Copies of this chain bind each other. A is one copy, B any other.
């Protein structure tokens, strides 16, 4: 929600993700930032941790990779702090579409309530082929 000032390393990592067409692994990010003085994985993981906290970056669990958040500030319902982010990932070209669906959110919340399960984090990822690659 608030977009805090980023440190140097956080800015570098965020910029790499923002410019990328597809999700990047931490080690791919590391390689892209060698010329900027990055030498060790931890520099990437630390920056990613903060960016994830701030909701500026998402982790794709089925890919072990990261993407910049695609939502405009205050899109739809005021950033997506309210619900679950979902992803469609093209296995051919790597393109990632970020979306959310209230209906799905509510449905999963209802299920959780019925089970007395307290959700902390949700992962919804659809792997397949995008329109261009289908």
Contacts and interface: CB of A to CB of B under 8 A. Distances in A.
Interface of A: 61-62, 86, 88, 90-91, 97, 99, 101, 103-104, 107-108, 111-112, 115-131, 134
19 contacts: A61-B62, A61-B123, A61-B125, A62-B123, A90-B117, A101-B108, A103-B107, A104-B107, A115-B131, A116-B131, A116-B134, A117-B126, A117-B128, A118-B129, A119-B126, A121-B126, A121-B127, A123-B124, A123-B126
Contacts of A131: 115-117
Contacts of A124: 108, 122-124
Nearest to A134: B118
A82 B97 CA distance: 24
A117 B103 contact: no
A127 B118 CA distance: 8
Contacts of A111: 88, 99, 101
